Amino acid sequence: MRRRDFLAAGAAGLGTTALAGCTTTKATTAPVIPGAPADALVQPIDAPMAPIKSSMDRVTRTIVGLRPFRIPGPRLETVKIGSKDVVHNYGHGGGGVSLSWGVAELAVSKIKEFGRRDIAVLGSGAIGLSTALDLQRSGADVTIYAKDFPPYTTSNVAGAMWHPVTLFERDQVSEETLTMLDIASRIAFSRFIRYANDPKYGIYWIRQFSLSDREMNTRYPYVGGDDLYPGMRRNYQNGPFGFKYYDAYYTLMIDSDIYMRALVNDFLSNGGKMVSQTFETEADLQSLPQTSIVNCMGLGSGKVFGDETVTPIRGQLSFLLPQNNIDYGYAGGFGERGTLYSFPRKTGILLGGSGDKGDWDMTPRQSEVERMVEGHAWLASRLT
C-alpha cells in the first residue's frame, strides 16, 4: 500500500494501539482546552502579533546541538547481534522530540515480541526515555544505559516545536519509512496533547507560521498528513510580517529542559534504573545482562553500529529574555539573512536558524548569534 493510500484508508491494517493513535488525532479546528487558564489558550491565527524584542543585550545564553540525521530516514528495525535481540530506534534528525512517543510505541511492540520482562534501553534522550516509559507501562523492568543523561543530551537542546522535519533526504527515503513516519507522527501528536498545559511537562499550544515571498511548496503533505495540524492553512496569501505567502497551523511548544527533567522523574519513580556506560562497538552489547535491547543512541549509533548514513546537522540557538505577550512561532528563508526561526518558550524567546550538515563543532559562533539577533529584529520591525 502506498503512503497516501494508507492515509486515505485511515490506517487500515495497523495494530490496535497504532490505530488508536491515528483516530484520536483528527483535529481540524483550533484547539480549545477545557478548564485551561485563560492565558494558556491560543489566539486566532489572524490575531495581532506583538513584536519580539531582539537585541544583543537581551541574549541570555547560546547553545549548540547536533541533530542525529540519517540520510534514508530514521531506523526502526529488529536485528540479531550475537546473542542479543536488538530493536534499532535512531536517526530522527530534526524531529526526534516530535516523533518520540510514536517511534517509542512502535519500537516497544517489536521488542515485546521476544517476550522478555527485563529490557535494556541504550540512550537517555527523548527517544530512549519515551521508549523506556512505554516499556514500563507494558510491565517491563527497564534499565537505561547511556553516556550522557539529561540535561546533557541533544534532546535538551532541541527547539522543540512539535513538527517532525529534517528527517531524510527525499531521494533516499523508502515508501515504507514514509509510512512508518506518518504512523509515528500521528501516535506521537495524540500522546503529546495529553501533556499540554501541565506545567510539570512544559508543553503548551502556539500558533506557528512559515513565511515566504514565493509560493509555498505544497507538493508533499506535512509529515503525518496536513489534517494532523489543527487550523492548517497552506499557501495562503497576505501573511504576517508583510510576506506574500504563508502556511499556518497550531502546534505544541515543548520546553525541552522542563520536559526532559519530567521524563527522567517519571522513569525513576516507576522504578527504572539508569547506568552510566559508553559503548564503543556493537560487540560491547554482549556484556549486558539483558537479552532484549532497544538502541536509542541517536548520533552515537552511527559509530557504534557502523552506519555511515548517520551524520550530524549542527544547530545553534540563542535565547532572549522572555516576553509573556508572544504566543506565536515562525520560520522561513530570508535571502541574504539566511534561515531564521523563533519559538516562544515561557522561559525565553528562542532564536534559531542554523543547520550545518556534517559539522561536528559544538562551539557557539558569535557571528551566528549576531546574524540571528539582527535577523529577528528585522522581522520584528516588519510587524509595526
Ligand X SMILES: Cc1cc2nc3c(=O)[nH]c(=O)nc-3n(C[C@H](O)[C@H](O)[C@H](O)COP(=O)(O)OP(=O)(O)OC[C@H]3O[C@@H](n4cnc5c(N)ncnc54)[C@H](O)[C@@H]3O)c2cc1C
Q: Applying CB under 6 A, does 279 fall inside the site for ligand X? A: yes
Indicate the residue among 115 and 205 with the shorter CB distance to ligand X.
Answer: 205
Closest CA to 300 of 71, 73, 90: 90
Long-range contacts formed by 196-200: CB under 8 A, 24+ apart: 196/31, 196/33, 196/252, 197/33, 197/36, 197/37, 197/40, 199/258, 200/258, 200/262
Task: Find the helix or strand (DSSP H, E) in which 77 lies.
Answer: strand 75-81
Beta carbon nearer to ligand X, 148 or 307: 148
Instruction: Indicate whether 67 belongs to the interface with ligand X (CB under 6 A).
Output: yes
342 binds ligand X (CB under 6 A): no
Beta carbon nearer to ligand X, 96 or 239: 96
Residue of the chain from 21, 68, 73, 348 that contacts ligand X (CB under 6 A): 68
By CB under 6 A, residue 158 contacts ligand X: yes
* Binding segment toward ligand X, per CB under 6 A, in 106-114, 151-159, 226-234, 356-364: 151-159
Overall residue count recorded for the chain in this entry:
384
**Residue 159, interface with ligand X (CB under 6 A)?**
yes
355 vs 288: CA distance, rounded Å: 36
Q: What residue is closest to ligand X based on CB? A: 300
74 counts as binding ligand X under rule CB under 6 A? no
Backbone angle region of 338, left / alpha / beta, with phi > 0 → left and psi within -120 to 50 → alpha: left
CB 234 within 8 A of CB 247: yes
Residue among 296, 320, 351, 372 that touches ligand X (CB under 6 A): 296
Work out the number of other CB atoms within 10 angstroms of the CB of residue 275. Answer: 11
Contact 312/358 with Cβ under 8 angstroms? Answer: yes
Among 21, 73, 102, 315, binds ligand X (CB under 6 A): 315
- CA–CA gap between residue 120 and residue 105 (Å, rounded): 16
Q: Does 101 engage in binding with ligand X (CB under 6 A)?
A: no
Identity of the residue, 213 or 360, whose beta carbon is nearer to ligand X in the bound complex: 360
Chain residues that interact with ligand X, rule: CB under 6 A:
65, 67-68, 90, 92-98, 123-128, 146-148, 153-155, 157-161, 278-279, 296-300, 304, 315, 317, 352
